[in-house]
Structure 1
């Protein structure tokens, strides 16, 4: 298969690209710079409009598409708005229209659980979440009105090796390994970590399994890990996995506005997929510098 990916050089996207290429698929990534690397995926240029992207996709002729690219900043000041809308609404609309022109068969969109800060009610936690929901809704139109199979996967908290330190879990691991004190909230939130390799397998399931494709009007699913934890318990779990003493944890940070306190998936879990990496196993592998991939 030929598969085109936006966000193919990001944290999940890079692992997905490698997994697909290792399985023998041809992969192209949407990029601000064109060309191809010697051993890597092809690059398809995006210059801020859909016509050139459609022309290049038509020339490359992908079978399937995955949309992972996103601007994940949580602010919504006037300086943030244009960038968030451009990345999270305008670009995916250019991408999906180009895919329709290129006769792509399936389009998998990666979204977020944070569109529901309260259970059973659309209540976006951030402006970022609102832009992701806008794209979900717009893609529902293409799913219903165009000859393109579209589904959206709402990921929960992704973790794994080599993740940026600004995320909670990498910062916690660094604190435990260094013995330095760390600050956090009171930690009453429920959290369900999703290992990056399970996230990759979810995308592969959505691409290649017919179970994810139905006559549903929306085709939106959630993707999450195998265990719901209370955030305040996580430092002790990680310290135990590391075999190290737990440093001082100061619960002095306030909760974020519209903090998500309860694990309440808004949609059904992706059919035909389940997580394989237990949180403690995934954390132990990170601490040991190992991969969970077979």
Structure 2
């Protein structure tokens, strides 16, 4: 298949591109900067004045949208929040415009999303059938992001919103920052410790996206989280166990709020989210348990 990826040079996008090429697909990456093509991988300029990517794409079988400023980088100042929000809205609007203008339209849009759409809770378990939507910045971003992407359904295109949990990997995401205190022998429980962490290994994120491509029954919201979420206290203890470091120095909530501002909600609040759609369709996680995931990434 000819697969177009927006955000193909990011933390998840690079891994996904490699896997798709290994499977024999042709990958076209939308980029702001011109780059030289390589085997089964080419680049098309977009989101730049005068760019007309629709004229260069030709036949497209499938589009994957991973574009957007990382929520993990930097403090959530009003400026950074604006960048997080607008980068997703602008990129998705442009993808909808491209799809509208293509003569041969793709059959599928796989759009990144996040479990941050669900309200924080210590007691509720969320699945794809849960309709509760939080009202904070991240939830509003996710809600509007999915709504924009859903516009392509008017062209008969199957859409899947991959609601990522806390993605664990060494090259990006939250894990490097979570691990650092333990490497310095000052790791401990963050906040109350009973908040949920619905995590997922980056390898399983890529595998889930490929599974969604190949499985025509997957559409709408798809929770991309490991089947066994843990509390923040258990998460920290498992890091300590794997690294053979002590788990002893608590990090109070007020300190996290002081250091990170509104972004502190990513670690002080959480949701227990289950990947029911993936499991019901027969998806098997390579890393269903946290310790397995951390041993792979940290050893």
Query: TM-score with structure 1 length normalisation?
Result: 0.82
- Note the residue ranges of structure 2 that are not aligned, 5 or more in a row: 125-130, 258-263
- For the residue of structure 2 that corresponds to 1:283, the secondary structure is helix
- Alignment of 1:224 with 2:225, yes or no, is yes
Per the TM alignment, residue 205 of structure 1 is displaced from its structure 2 partner at its CA by 1.0
The residue that corresponds to 2:272 in the other structure is 263
Report the aligned-residue RMSD.
2.7
- For the residue of structure 1 that corresponds to 2:253, the secondary structure is coil
Per the TM alignment, residue 142 of structure 1 is displaced from its structure 2 partner at its CA by 2.4
The residue that corresponds to 1:63 in the other structure is 61
- For the residue of structure 1 that corresponds to 2:53, the secondary structure is helix
- Alignment of 1:241 with 2:239, yes or no, is no
**Cα distance in 2 for residues equivalent to 1:42 and 1:30:** 9
**Cα distance in 2 for residues equivalent to 1:125 and 1:7:** 25
In structure 2, relative to structure 1, the CA distance for the partners of 1:141 and 1:62 (3 Å cut) is: closer
> Which residue of 196, 199, 218 corresponds with 1:193?
199
Q: Deviations over 1:96-115 (max 9, x none)?
A: 33134331121110101101
In structure 2, relative to structure 1, the CA distance for the partners of 1:33 and 1:240 (3 Å cut) is: same
Q: Deviations over 1:153-209 (max 9, x none)?
A: 111111023335xx2x32333332332456732222111210001100110011111
Per the TM alignment, residue 268 of structure 1 is displaced from its structure 2 partner at its CA by 4.9
The residue that corresponds to 1:87 in the other structure is 87
- For the residue of structure 2 that corresponds to 1:42, the secondary structure is strand
In structure 2, relative to structure 1, the CA distance for the partners of 1:47 and 1:189 (3 Å cut) is: same
In structure 2, relative to structure 1, the CA distance for the partners of 1:69 and 1:157 (3 Å cut) is: same
The residue that corresponds to 2:142 in the other structure is 132
On the 8 A contact 1:114/1:124 being kept in 2, the answer is: no
**Cα distance in 2 for residues equivalent to 1:69 and 1:107:** 13
The residue that corresponds to 2:19 in the other structure is 19
- Alignment of 1:146 with 2:152, yes or no, is no
- Alignment of 1:32 with 2:37, yes or no, is no
Count how many residue pairs are aligned between Structure 1 and Structure 2: 273
**Cα distance in 1 for residues equivalent to 2:171 and 2:100:** 35
> Which residue of 110, 113, 116 corresponds with 2:112?
110
Per the TM alignment, residue 220 of structure 1 is displaced from its structure 2 partner at its CA by 1.8
Query: TM-score with structure 2 length normalisation?
Result: 0.81
In structure 2, relative to structure 1, the CA distance for the partners of 1:83 and 1:234 (3 Å cut) is: closer
Per the TM alignment, residue 264 of structure 1 is displaced from its structure 2 partner at its CA by 4.2
The residue that corresponds to 2:217 in the other structure is 211
- Note the residue ranges of structure 1 that are not aligned, 5 or more in a row: 214-218, 289-294
On the 8 A contact 1:111/1:153 being kept in 2, the answer is: yes
In structure 2, relative to structure 1, the CA distance for the partners of 1:170 and 1:51 (3 Å cut) is: closer
Aligned counterparts, 1:164-175, within 5 A:
167=174, 169-175=175-181
